[in-house]
Amino acid sequence: MVRVWLSLLTNEEIERKLVERRLNEWMVRPDYNGYGLSNLVSNVLKCFGYKGFSHRPVPDERLDDCLEDVENLILLLVDGLSYYQTEKAVDKYLKGFNPLVIPLTSTFPSTTTTALTTLNTGLTPQEHAVIGYTMYLKEIGVVLSLTNFAPSAAPESNSLVQAGLDPASFLKLETIQMKVKRSGVTPIIMTRRLYRESPFTTMFSSDAEIETYVGTSDLSIRLRKMVQQSKNPMFIFSYWDGFDISAHIYGPQSEEPEAELEAFFSSLKQNLIDKIQNKPAKKTALLILSDHGQVALSADEVLMVSEHPALMNALHIPPTGDSRAACLYLKPNKKDELLDYIEKHLAKMFVAYDTRTLLKEGIFGRGEVNPNLLDRTGDLMLLPKSSGAVAYSYRPRQRGFELKGAHGGLHPREMLAPLVCLNLG
């Protein structure tokens, strides 16, 4: 009955129900039981006839209809795009194709490394234990920068790979690519040429073909040609980061990322949707998805950790995680002292949570708790209430915190992500 009831909700009702699921007055809870990224993975697997989902599919009959009888599926991930920034571009470029647009929630932390791991495995963060942009690996005593698989203090180093930490076997989890391949579908990962050999790409690509593109325009052309030339069913997981990069630098509501998004949707319409041949189009669906949104930062709400000796002195290691979801590892008997300091000096901008409380509240997900999870989340997590961020430089000569947009936390603008579905035929 729950599934039927939810599938009859309008987008506005879905959005309201997601936003009403509050952790506190400033923050919304991720939804792992219906309208979340881990749920969407089950819809993708269901589309290809795979049985045995980790989590229930998104309970929306409109999405089921959109994916019915599909042979080729393009999942196009637009990094950093909030649900609240999607309507204008969709109305301008896709309205004539009758797209389905619904809100989903991101993971926690609402960041690319965590969300992409969920989308590539179908597991929630508490199951896969990939937490944030930087992550403390207790087993080897290193703070890992996940995107380049190197120590955060030396991101250009390949010392961890040389020491035997292999990105290809790091997760030890079954990926969506493995599962669709067993269903007779060709899995393909499409990423920027720049990222082809990156450790993070390697983590998910052992059972997939890797294809690359250079920029926004040729991405759409490459996708069209791949579908038209294919002789077998395909699942293409494509990643585009142009909007996210621009939003970090200029701020998510600024003119520059808006122009980047315009160029993306314009190319998508002109070079993929309008030009694809009729026969492959009829059996191909396009899912446009985001991993998270972004929040515009206020410079006076950026916490430079090194400027707070009392905070630094309470920490066993520097903060890890993400700028809007900072993991704090405390020295023995320092918890009460640190919480008192946060209450007196930082409470207007931040709230601290015991990580075990967040786990009990379901903020990290559902399912079996990965034995590495609490080692990777620290003792406390420091979350901004509004437009703040936590900054720490792992390298002495690194420039100060200059980003104007960020994510990782539980603000509605970073938590609600769009899902757009349309049949190309």
CATH code of the domain covering residue 209: 3.40.720.10
- CATH number for the domain including 328? 3.30.1360.180
Where does the pLDDT of residue 61 fall: very low under 50, low under 70, confident under 90, or very high at 90 and above? very high
- The answer to whether residues 275 and 232 belong to one domain is yes
Residue 399 scores a pLDDT above 60? no
Asked which of 26-40, 100-114, 393-407 is least confident by mean pLDDT, the reply is 393-407
- The answer to whether residues 270 and 222 belong to one domain is yes
- The answer to whether residues 373 and 388 belong to one domain is yes
Instruction: Please tell me the distance from the alpha carbon of residue 123 to that of residue 205, in angstroms, as a whole number.
Output: 17
- The answer to whether residues 367 and 284 belong to one domain is no
Specify whether the CB–CB gap between 84 and 411 falls below 8 A: no
- The answer to whether residues 38 and 156 belong to one domain is yes
19-28, Cβ contacts within 8 angstroms, sequence gap of 24 or more = 19/412, 19/416, 23/361, 23/363, 23/410, 24/351, 26/351, 26/385, 26/386, 26/410, 26/411, 27/383, 27/385, 27/409, 27/410, 27/411, 28/105, 28/410, 28/411, 28/412, 28/415, 28/416
Give 338-368 pLDDT, tens digit per residue.
999 999 999 999 999 999 999 999 999 999 9
Instruction: Please tell me the distance from the alpha carbon of residue 247 to that of residue 264, in angstroms, as a whole number.
Output: 14
Give 261-270 pLDDT, tens digit per residue.
999 999 999 9
Specify whether the CB–CB gap between 384 and 301 falls below 8 A: yes
Give 373-398 pLDDT, tens digit per residue.
999 999 999 999 999 999 998 755 55
Residue 369's domain comprises 299-406
188 conformational bin, left if phi > 0, alpha if psi -120 to 50, beta if neither: beta
Helices (H), ranges, 295-378? 309-314, 335-345, 355-360, 373-377
The pLDDT value recorded for residue 1 is 32
- The answer to whether residues 76 and 150 belong to one domain is yes
Asked which of 39-48, 171-180, 389-398 is least confident by mean pLDDT, the reply is 389-398
Reduce the DSSP state of residue 35 to 3 states and report it.
coil
CA 402-404-408 angle, 5° bins? 100
- The answer to whether residues 240 and 358 belong to one domain is no
Instruction: Please tell me the distance from the alpha carbon of residue 249 to that of residue 78, in angstroms, as a whole number.
Output: 17
Residue 20 scores a pLDDT above 60? yes
Specify whether the CB–CB gap between 189 and 211 falls below 8 A: yes
How many domains in the chain?
Answer: 2
- The answer to whether residues 135 and 228 belong to one domain is yes
The pLDDT value recorded for residue 5 is 41
For the chain, what is the mean pLDDT?
Answer: 93
Instruction: Please tell me the distance from the alpha carbon of residue 57 to that of residue 249, in angstroms, as a whole number.
Output: 35
- The answer to whether residues 184 and 323 belong to one domain is no
- The answer to whether residues 145 and 253 belong to one domain is yes
The pLDDT value recorded for residue 398 is 53
- The answer to whether residues 48 and 84 belong to one domain is yes
- The answer to whether residues 196 and 326 belong to one domain is no
